[in-house]
């Protein structure tokens, strides 16, 4: 939901730092590989250090596709020391002489298909792995990385995406989060499933995505190992950890799925407001399923983060994490509606690259307007009118293009508010019948995949039979305050919808 970094990171990561080579170079080179093919192919090449994202070119890596992460960790809340092993199951998509992972902590060893591999650090977050044997297109790769570090003290641009809390830690951030706790192909284009287990001192809780395949297991040294499983493909930034003192509430949703909510015990008098919001998750998901299509994941829930921790919320897969600020003035359903709408728009259907962020934030924000309408707290038209009037024509807000905001403005107000206004204009253009067919058609067509704004426009045009270029160009890609459609123009100052205060309160924490 909210990127804490500045765009400086994109520039920073382009620089190449000194190279540190450890491991056991050459150890296995003498052993002949199996002759696998008589076909003559080009020499293996390095996998690219990025996936070409226009905003974050070196995020993710080329040359392989991850199927699954097995993240097995040990954490000490007292010192913030994190150690462990991540096993990556991947498939090579080219003949590889070497490949990259995105990761920041100190690496002790890397093995590829059982063989010790050389590794080196390049730039800010690139771990370059050279396997002793060549890797060929289509070959299964099992990459085992052993590592340790203190994530809160591992800084990039003076910043850590790992939040140390009063009683533990949170790994919750967008788009950079995994760098601080597991090596990965860190871009939404490479989705995978994952198993996460963490050993902590007895009495500490560990919350993560998905379901618990087993209860926590006792380990030597008065410790417990918690385990979580995500069975649907997810983008790496949507994996999370919440470690600390939590009260866990479990139930069954109307669709039969497990609901697992967790509340930091540090919330004090904010805890009832957090519960009054997050305990309605299953109701919200049920309502959203009726509009967006079947809920795409295996479990539901939410996590109320500790006091003095996150200043935002994030749509972590199956279980959004909410900062304590949302409950300062009481309950707030709108942030729950927003984060759970992201389960369809952002999590199941992810951006193909980060310039398409409107597909996440515009839709999650419009979900709030739809909820307001359903609750009788202000119609979508009233919210459009009031939001439109809230930003004067000379406000810099209108200079940010929701359809291509730039790396430094991915979470700008415009992406949210003008983003929601765009969907309202689309709805007016195509009519309710087509609009409410477009939304579930989109989530079905790109389920567990990726999408672009151009693809969404094409689908909307296909379903409505209309040329929608004027709507998309005007509202997403043209600076300045557009004239609203004649039918929606208001001549008097619009009244403030009842839901406005809560929506504002949520957006002040979600957008920048
Ligand atoms: Zn959002």
What's the rounded Cα separation, in Å, for the pair 56 and 39? Answer: 37
> Each residue of 386-433: pLDDT tens digit?
999 999 999 999 999 999 999 999 999 999 999 999 999 999 999 999
Confidence of residue 317 (pLDDT cuts 50, 70, 90): very high
Query: Is 28 part of any domain?
Result: no
Q: What percent of the chain has pLDDT over 70?
A: 90
In a domain, 123, yes or no: no
**For residues 282 and 301, what is the distance between their CA atoms, to the nearest angstrom?**
7
CB of 365 within 8 A of CB of 420?
yes
Asked if the structure places residue 39 within a domain, the reply is no
Answer for the pair 18, 25: CB distance below 8 angstroms, yes or no.
Answer: no
pLDDT at 156: 95
The predicted-structure confidence for 465-498, as pLDDT tens digits, reads as follows 999 999 999 999 999 999 876 555 555 689 999 9
Cα 510 to middle of ligand 1, angstroms: 7
> For 276-292, what is the mean pLDDT?
98
For residues 122-128, average pLDDT: 96
CA distances from 193 to 184, 298, 303, 443 (A): 12, 12, 21, 19
Average pLDDT over residues 301-328: 97
At 22 the pLDDT is 32
Q: From residue 510, how far is each of 54, 339, 507 by CA, in Å?
A: 23, 10, 5
CA atoms within 13 A on the CB side of 108: 9
Question: What pLDDT was estimated at residue 42?
Answer: 72
Position 64 in a domain:
no
The β-bridge relationship of strands 192-201 and 64-76 is parallel
Whole-number Å distance, alpha carbon 382 to ligand 1 midpoint, is 21
Q: Tens digit of pLDDT for each residue in 422-467? A: 999 999 999 999 999 999 999 999 999 999 999 999 999 999 999 9
Q: Which residue has the tokens 């309950």?
A: 331
163-175 pLDDT per residue, tens = 999 999 999 999 9
pLDDT digits (tens, 9 = 90+) for 97-111: 999 999 999 999 999
Name the pTM for this structure.
0.92
Number of domains in the chain: 1
Let me know if residue 257 belongs to a domain. no
Query: Taking the alpha carbons of 133, 135, 139, 140 in that order, is the dihedral positive or negative?
Result: positive
Judge whether residue 26 has pLDDT over 80.
no
Q: Is residue 397 part of a domain?
A: yes
Mean pLDDT of the chain: 91
Q: Could you tell me the distance, in angstroms and rounded to a whole number, from the CA of residue 112 to the centre of ligand 1?
A: 37
> pLDDT class for 39, splitting at 50, 70, 90?
very low
pLDDT for 95 equals: 97
CA–centroid distance, 76 to ligand 1, in Å, is: 31
Q: What is the reported pLDDT for 350?
A: 98
- The CATH code of the domain that includes 495 is 1.10.390.10
In the structure encoding, which two tokens stand for residue 510, read together? 């979600």
Q: What pLDDT does 34 receive?
A: 35
- How many angstroms does the Cα of residue 507 sit away from the middle of ligand 1? 9
Place of tokens 């504002």: 504
Q: How remote is the CA of residue 94 from the centroid of ligand 1, in Å?
A: 35
Q: Is residue 245 a part of any domain in this protein?
A: no
Higher per-residue pLDDT: 245 or 16: 245
Mean pLDDT for 211-230 is 98
- 460, two tokens: 């909307």
3-state secondary structure of 354: helix
Rounded CA-CA distance 229/316 in Å is: 14
3-state secondary structure of 207: strand
Mean pLDDT (whole number) for 151-158? 96
The sheet with strand 321-322 has its strands ordered as 246-252, 258-264, 300-304, 321-322, 313-314
**Residues spanned by the domain of 440:** 351-510
Which of the four pLDDT bands, split at 50, 70 and 90, describes residue 1? very low
Question: In this structure, is residue 101 part of a structural domain?
Answer: no
**Per-residue confidence band for 116, with pLDDT thresholds at 50, 70 and 90:** very high
Pick from 402, 398, 371: nearest CA to 387 = 398
C-alpha of residue 339 to centroid of ligand 1, in Å: 6
The model's confidence at residue 348, banded by pLDDT at 50, 70 and 90, is very high
% of the chain at pLDDT higher than 90: 88
Nearest Cα to Cα of residue 238 among 287, 289, 297, 288: 297
Separation of CA 357 and ligand 1 centre (Å) = 9
pLDDT in tens, 247-258: 999 999 999 999
């Amino acid at each position: 939901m909210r990127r804490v970094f500045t765009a400086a990171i994109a520039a920073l990561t382009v620089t190449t730092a000194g190279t540190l080579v450890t491991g056991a170079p050459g150890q296995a080179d003498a052993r002949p590989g199996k002759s696998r093919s008589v076909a003559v192919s080009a020499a293996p090449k390095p996998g690219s250090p990025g996936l070409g994202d226009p905003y974050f070119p070196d995020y993710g890596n080329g040359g392989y596709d991850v199927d699954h992460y097995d993240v097995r960790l040990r954490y000490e809340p007292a010192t913030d020391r994190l150690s462990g092993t991540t096993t990556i199951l991947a498939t090579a998509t080219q003949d590889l002489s070497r490949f990259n992972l995105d990761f920041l902590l100190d690496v002790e060893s890397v093995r590829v298909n059982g063989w010790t591999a050389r590794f080196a650090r390049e730039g800010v977050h690139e771990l370059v792995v050279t396997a002793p044997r060549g890797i060929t297109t289509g070959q299964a790769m099992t990459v085992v990385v052993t590592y340790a570090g203190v994530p809160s003290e591992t800084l990039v641009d003076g910043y850590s995406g790992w939040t140390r809390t009063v009683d533990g830690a949170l790994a919750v951030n967008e788009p950079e989060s995994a760098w601080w706790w597991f090596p990965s192909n860190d871009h939404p284009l490479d989705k995978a499933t994952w198993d996460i287990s963490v050993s902590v001192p007895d009495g500490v809780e560990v919350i993560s995505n998905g379901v618990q395949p087993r209860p926590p297991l006792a380990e030597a040294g008065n410790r417990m190992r918690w385990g979580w499983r995500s069975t649907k493909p997810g983008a790496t930034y949507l994996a999370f950890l919440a470690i600390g003192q939590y009260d866990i509430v479990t139930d069954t949703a109307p669709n039969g799925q497990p609901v697992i909510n967790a509340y930091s015990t540090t919330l004090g008098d904010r805890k009832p407001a957090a519960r009054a919001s997050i305990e309605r998750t299953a109701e919200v998901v049920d309502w959203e399923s009726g509009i967006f299509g079947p809920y795409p994941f295996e479990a539901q829930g939410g996590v109320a983060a500790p006091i003095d921790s996150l200043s935002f919320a994030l749509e972590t897969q199956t279980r959004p994490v909410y900062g304590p600020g949302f409950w300062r003035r009481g309950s707030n359903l709108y942030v729950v509606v927003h984060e759970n709408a992201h389960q369809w728009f952002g999590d199941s259907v992810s951006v193909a690259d980060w310039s398409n962020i409107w597909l996440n934030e515009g839709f999650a924000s419009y979900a709030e307007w739809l909820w307001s309408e359903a609750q009788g707290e202000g119609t979508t038209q009233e919210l459009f009118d009031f939001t439109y009037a809230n930003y004067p024509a000379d406000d810099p807000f209108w200079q940010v293009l929701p359809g291509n905001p730039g790396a430094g403005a991915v979470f700008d107000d415009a992406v949210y508010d003008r983003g929601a206004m765009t969907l309202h204009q689309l709805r007016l253009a195509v009519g309710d019948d087509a609009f409410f067919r477009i939304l579930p058609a989109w989530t079905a067509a790109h389920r567990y995949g990726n999408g672009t704004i151009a693809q969404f426009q094409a689908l909307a045009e296909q379903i409505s039979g209309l040329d929608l270029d004027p709507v998309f160009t005007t509202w997403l890609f043209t600076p300045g305050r557009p004239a609203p459609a004649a039918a929606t123009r208001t001549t008097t100052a619009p009244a403030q919808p009842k839901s406005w205060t809560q929506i504002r309160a949520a957006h002040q924490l979600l957008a920048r």
